[in-house]
C-alpha cells in the first residue's frame, strides 16, 4: 500500500467518526428537547386540573384555596351545586321589555366526580396532583391572597412550578416557570396559553 492510500483510509475513517459524533450530538439534543416537551405537557395538564379545582373552590367558598391541603380536602369532600337559571321576558307596552331571572337549586355533585371523572382523566391520582412531574417529588408552589382593585377586594391565586426542567424557563430566577394565575391580577390563565 502506498502512503496516499493509507492516508485516504485514515481520513475516511476520521470523517466517518466525526460524522457519527455530529449525528449523535444532534440526536442527543433532539431527544432532550422531546423529553422536556413531554414533561412540560404533563406539568401543564396538572396546572389545568389545579386551575379547574381553584375555580370550583372560589365558586363554592368565595375565596381561593391557599394551600394544597385545603384544595385536596375540597376535591375529596366538596360539592358543586347544580343551579338552573330561568329567564322570562315579558313585552310591555311601547316596546319595552321586562326580564325576570329565577334560580332553582336542583342538587349537588361531588367535585371529584364532576371535575376529575374517569372519562376526562382516566389516570387521575389525587395523591400525586400536587407533585411536579419529572421533578423527583417537588410540590407546586401555592399562593392565594386578596388585592384591592377599584376600591374592591378581589381574590388572586398563583400555582407555579418551583424548579422548571427547561433551561430557558430557569433564566432570571425561574421568571418564565410554568404557572397558572397571577399574584397581581385576577387571572386564571396559564403562561403557556
| pLDDT in the model for residue 40 | 87
| pLDDT in the model for residue 192 | 82
What pLDDT band is residue 135 in, cutting at 50, 70 and 90?
Answer: confident
Q: Give start and end residues of each alpha helix (H) in the chain.
A: 3-61, 68-77, 111-115, 167-174
**CB-neighbour burial class of residue 79 (10 A; exposed 0-12, middle 13-18, buried 19+):** middle
Which grid coordinates belong to 70?
Answer: 385545603
For residue range 27-77, list pLDDT tens digits in order. Answer: 888 888 888 888 888 889 999 999 999 988 888 888 888 888 888 899 888
What pLDDT band is residue 137 in, cutting at 50, 70 and 90?
Answer: confident
Which grid coordinates belong to 61?
Answer: 367558598
What pLDDT band is residue 172 in, cutting at 50, 70 and 90?
Answer: confident
φ and ψ of 33, to 5 deg? -65, -40
**105-to-12, 83, 102 alpha-carbon distances in Å:** 80, 4, 10
Which grid coordinates belong to 154?
Answer: 378581589
Q: Assess whether pLDDT exceeds 80 at residue 193.
A: no
Beta bridge partners, 145, equal 156
Domain parsing of the chain, residue ranges? 38-79+112-181
Q: Are 160 and 140 in contact (CB under 8 A)?
A: yes
Among residues 105, 173, 100, 181, which one has the least CA distance to residue 142? 181
Which grid coordinates belong to 177?
Answer: 416557570
DSSP secondary structure code for residue 183 in this structure? S
Among residues 157, 150, 152, which one has the least CA distance to residue 182? 157
| pLDDT in the model for residue 125 | 84
Q: Assess whether pLDDT exceeds 80 at residue 175.
A: no
Strands 179-181 and 152-160: antiparallel
Amino acid at each position: 500500500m502506498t502512503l496516499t492510500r493509507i492516508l485516504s483510509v485514515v481520513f475516511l475513517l476520521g470523517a466517518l467518526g466525526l460524522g457519527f459524533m455530529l449525528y449523535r450530538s444532534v440526536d442527543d439534543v433532539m431527544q432532550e428537547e422531546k423529553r422536556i416537551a413531554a414533561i412540560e405537557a404533563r406539568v401543564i395538564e396538572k396546572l389545568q386540573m389545579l386551575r379547574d379545582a381553584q375555580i370550583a373552590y372560589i365558586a363554592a367558598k368565595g375565596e381561593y384555596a391557599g394551600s394544597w391541603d385545603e384544595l385536596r380536602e375540597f376535591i375529596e369532600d366538596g360539592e358543586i351545586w347544580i343551579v338552573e337559571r330561568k329567564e322570562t321576558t315579558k313585552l310591555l307596552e311601547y316596546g319595552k321589555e321586562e326580564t325576570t331571572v329565577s334560580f332553582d337549586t336542583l342538587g349537588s355533585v361531588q367535585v371529584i366526580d364532576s371535575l376529575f371523572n374517569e372519562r376526562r382523566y382516566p389516570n387521575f391520582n389525587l395523591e400525586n396532583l400536587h407533585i411536579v412531574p419529572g421533578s423527583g417529588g417537588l410540590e407546586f408552589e401555592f399562593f392565594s391572597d386578596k388585592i384591592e382593585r377599584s376600591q374592591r377586594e378581589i381574590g388572586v391565586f398563583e400555582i407555579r412550578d418551583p424548579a422548571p426542567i427547561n433551561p430557558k424557563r430557569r433564566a432570571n430566577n425561574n421568571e418564565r416557570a410554568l404557572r397558572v394565575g397571577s399574584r397581581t391580577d385576577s387571572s386564571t390563565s396559564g403562561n403557556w396559553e
